[in-house]
């Protein structure tokens, strides 16, 4: 029984780990709130599922109508330790009662230092490192570029097809996909150069060949001596959970080092146990010069980091980096609770196990339906690419239809991909296995009703 319940630090009733539908999804109260949302919130902020949340914990989200939904999205890979995880809630409560903010740049506090120590310890490589904390993933990426430019005295930033790095001005320029992220929001920041990603399902190239293709373009169109940094998601997130062919990342990292450029791994979505290791780079033993982190780092509170080699991180002058809220004490307390949970519960192993279950189930679904071109991912970062039967032609309409069918049955799934045809699964890593099985059965049924 303890397995299927999430204990409540407030001593109230536990949150049953179950799918339970008591109204249509969305129900009447959600529908009413959604109408109010429309009259108050700007249209530019989208909605995946118009269900308003009352509580969430473990692997479920309970809405204002009393429906309990299976969460296969984790708020976009954020609540990997589970929503309102005990250790996160306890540390946040303790911190919020002591002080909520001083600004680390004005009068420091030790939780910021502890988070930096943890990042220096957990990120790939055992060289000497330093870290800096920010509020969002986009802000971390912007700062990684600032640091790389100061360190190298160069300005060019190399990024990849299908990349997603955020929505601020510089990170819009770094992001590949136009709609909805860039359309009408330019002009964009200069000195950003895009090269082909390794995308085995679509390019058929092995890792070294795909790397050679990218490197040739960098050398001939940008010039190795102009490159401040090469910025890459070791497994792409919004771009479609694209896992590069083996050998691609090591070759790109080696080229960067030889060219005197900074190799930056954007592990904002793939980091913190998600892929079955602490960071996606770990799977191929790739040691980045800088790593950006956010999302899973703090159990849902806004926090982000840049971590890397001391000589690179310390290149900017004192006062050159920072921000009013970066490394807020409540967010740092949450991160310490989240990291403690990942270590204590061995969430890397849990991610691997959930990944095995998802991959096996999805491969069966693929064999039955014929519209799944590929099942791919690593650990608990798994996706299917939906295509027209017998082809590699992306089918965004079918992907949306399957996602909507899952939502109506009380299972939260997300889509992604340059062509909108990738259905991705990112369950909290504490998801009870029977609940995951049930979610996958609903997904299988949704695919079955397609044909
Ligand atoms: C989400 C994401 C970002 C942006 O993070 P925000 O916190 O939304 O600014 C950057 N890079 C990757 C790989 C992401 O998945």
> Which pLDDT tens digit goes with each residue over 19-77?
999 999 999 999 999 999 999 999 999 999 999 999 999 999 999 999 999 999 999 99
pLDDT beyond 80 at 1: no
Which atom from ligand 1 is nearest to the alpha carbon of 77? 15
pLDDT beyond 70 at 102: yes
Is residue 68 lining ligand 1, measured as CB closer than 6 Å? no
Are the CB atoms for 343 and 273 separated by under 8 Å? no
- CA of 133 from ligand 1 middle (Å) equals 15
The alpha carbon of 198 is separated from its chain's Cα centroid by a whole number of angstroms, namely: 19
The candidate with the shortest Cα–Cα distance to 405, out of 361, 444, 356, is: 444
Whose C-alpha lies nearest to ligand 1, atom 8? 137
Token representation of residue 396? 């965004």
pLDDT beyond 70 at 4: no
Phi, psi (deg, nearest 5) at residue 232 = -145, 145
Q: Which residues contact 28 (CB under 8 A, 6 or more apart)?
A: 65
> Which pLDDT tens digit goes with each residue over 127-144?
999 999 999 999 999 999
- CA of 236 from ligand 1 middle (Å) equals 11
Q: Which residues contact 398 (CB under 8 A, 6 or more apart)?
A: 371, 386, 421, 450
- Name the percent of the chain lying above pLDDT 90: 96
pLDDT beyond 80 at 245: yes
Which pLDDT value is given to residue 450?
Answer: 86
> Which pLDDT tens digit goes with each residue over 309-336?
999 999 999 999 999 999 999 999 999 9
Which pLDDT value is given to residue 70?
Answer: 98
In this prediction, residues 338-358 reach a mean pLDDT of: 98
Distance from C-alpha of 231 to C-alpha of 91, rounded to nearest angstrom: 34
pLDDT beyond 80 at 9: no
Token representation of residue 195? 């090269």
pLDDT beyond 90 at 186: yes
Are the CB atoms for 119 and 293 separated by under 8 Å? yes
CA atoms within 13 A on the CB side of 3: 4
pLDDT beyond 70 at 6: no
Is residue 269 lining ligand 1, measured as CB closer than 6 Å? yes
In this prediction, residues 204-231 reach a mean pLDDT of: 98
CA atoms within 13 A on the CB side of 325: 11
Find the angle CA(14)-CA(15)-CA(17) to the nearest 5 degrees. 125
Question: How does residue 2 score in pLDDT terms, banded at 50, 70 and 90?
Answer: very low
Is residue 137 lining ligand 1, measured as CB closer than 6 Å? yes
Whose C-alpha lies nearest to ligand 1, atom 11? 165
Is residue 410 lining ligand 1, measured as CB closer than 6 Å? no
Distance from C-alpha of 394 to C-alpha of 418, rounded to nearest angstrom: 10
Q: Which of 269, 323, 426 to mutate to test the pocket of ligand 1 (most atoms within 8 A of CB)?
A: 269
Q: Which of 138, 144, 169 to mutate to test the pocket of ligand 1 (most atoms within 8 A of CB)?
A: 138
Which pLDDT value is given to residue 451?
Answer: 64
pLDDT beyond 50 at 11: no
Is residue 240 lining ligand 1, measured as CB closer than 6 Å? no
- CA of 136 from ligand 1 middle (Å) equals 7
- Domains present along the chain, CATH in parentheses: 8-81+346-450 (3.90.1150.10), 87-344 (3.40.640.10)
Phi, psi (deg, nearest 5) at residue 401 = -60, -40
Whose C-alpha lies nearest to ligand 1, atom 10? 165
pLDDT beyond 50 at 285: yes
User: Which run of H or of E encompasses 256?
Assistant: helix 248-258
The alpha carbon of 306 is separated from its chain's Cα centroid by a whole number of angstroms, namely: 15
Question: What distances in angstroms separate CA 242 from CA 131, 145, 384, one per listed residue?
Answer: 28, 23, 10
Is residue 244 lining ligand 1, measured as CB closer than 6 Å? no
Spell out the alpha helix ranges (H) of 10-70.
Answer: 28-40
Is residue 328 lining ligand 1, measured as CB closer than 6 Å? no
Which pLDDT value is given to residue 56?
Answer: 98
Distance from C-alpha of 26 to C-alpha of 49, rounded to nearest angstrom: 8
pLDDT beyond 90 at 202: yes
Which pLDDT value is given to residue 307?
Answer: 99
Whose C-alpha lies nearest to ligand 1, atom 5? 137
Q: Which of 268, 280, 302, 422 to mutate to test the pocket of ligand 1 (most atoms within 8 A of CB)?
A: 268
pLDDT beyond 80 at 14: no
Mean pLDDT score across all residues of the chain: 96
Which atom from ligand 1 is nearest to the alpha carbon of 236? 13
In this prediction, residues 236-245 reach a mean pLDDT of: 98
Which atom from ligand 1 is nearest to the alpha carbon of 269? 15
pLDDT beyond 80 at 442: yes
Burial of 153 per CB tally in 10 Å (0-12, 13-18, 19+): exposed
Is residue 164 lining ligand 1, measured as CB closer than 6 Å? yes
Is residue 233 lining ligand 1, measured as CB closer than 6 Å? yes
Question: What distances in angstroms separate CA 127 from CA 56, 305, 309, 342, one per listed residue?
Answer: 39, 18, 7, 23
> Which pLDDT tens digit goes with each residue over 266-279?
999 999 999 999 99
Is residue 136 lining ligand 1, measured as CB closer than 6 Å? yes
Is residue 267 lining ligand 1, measured as CB closer than 6 Å? no
């Amino acid at each position: 029984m303890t397995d299927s319940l999430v204990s409540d630090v407030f001593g109230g009733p536990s949150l049953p780990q179950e799918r339970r539908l008591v109204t249509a999804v969305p129900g009447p109260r959600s529908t009413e709130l959604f109408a109010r949302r429309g009259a108050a919130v700007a249209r530019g902020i989208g909605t995946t599922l118009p269900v308003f949340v009352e509580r969430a914990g473990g692997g479920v989200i309970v809405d204002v109508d009393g429906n309990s939904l299976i969460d296969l999205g984790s708020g976009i890979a954020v609540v990997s330790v589970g929503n309102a995880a005990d250790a996160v809630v306890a540390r946040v409560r303790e911190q919020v009662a002591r002080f909520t903010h001083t600004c680390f740049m004005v009068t420091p506090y030790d939780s910021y230092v502890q988070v930096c120590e943890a990042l220096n310890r957990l990120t790939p490589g055992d060289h000497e490192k330093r870290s800096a904390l920010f509020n969002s993933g986009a802000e971390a990426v912007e700062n990684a570029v600032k640091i790389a430019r100061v360190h190298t005295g160069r300005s060019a930033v190399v990024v990849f097809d299908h990349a997603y790095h955020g929505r601020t001005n510089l990170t819009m320029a770094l992001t590949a996909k136009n709609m909805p992220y860039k359309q009408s929001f330019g002009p964009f920041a200069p000195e950003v150069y895009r090269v082909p990603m390794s995308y085995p399902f679509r390019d058929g190239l092995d890792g070294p060949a795909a790397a050679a293709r990218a490197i040739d373009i960098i050398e001939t169109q940008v010039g190795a001596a102009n490159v401040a940094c090469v910025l890459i998601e070791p497994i792409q997130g919004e771009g479609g959970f694209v896992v590069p062919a083996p050998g691609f990342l090591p070759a790109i990292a080696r080229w960067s080092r030889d060219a005197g450029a900074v190799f930056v791994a954007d592990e904002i979505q793939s980091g913190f146990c998600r892929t079955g290791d602490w960071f996606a780079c770990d799977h191929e033993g790739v040691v980045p010069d800088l790593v950006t982190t956010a999302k899973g780092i703090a159990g849902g509170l806004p926090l982000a980091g840049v971590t890397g080699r001391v000589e690179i991180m310390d290149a900017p002058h004192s006062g050159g980096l920072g921000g009013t809220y970066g490394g807020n004490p409540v967010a740092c307390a949450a991160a310490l609770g989240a990291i403690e949970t990942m270590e204590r519960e061995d969430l890397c192993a849990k991610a691997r196990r959930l990944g095995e279950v998802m991959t096996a189930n999805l491969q069966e679904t693929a064999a039955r339906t014929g519209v799944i071109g590929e099942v791919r991912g690593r650990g608990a970062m798994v996706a299917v690419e939906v295509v027209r039967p017998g082809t590699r032609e992306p089918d965004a309409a079918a992907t949306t239809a399957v996602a909507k069918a899952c939502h109506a049955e009380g299972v939260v799934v997300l889509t992604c991909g340059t062509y909108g045809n990738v259905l991705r699964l990112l369950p909290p890593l504490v998801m009870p296995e029977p609940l995951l099985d049930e979610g996958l059965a609903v997904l299988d049924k949704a695919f079955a009703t397609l044909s």
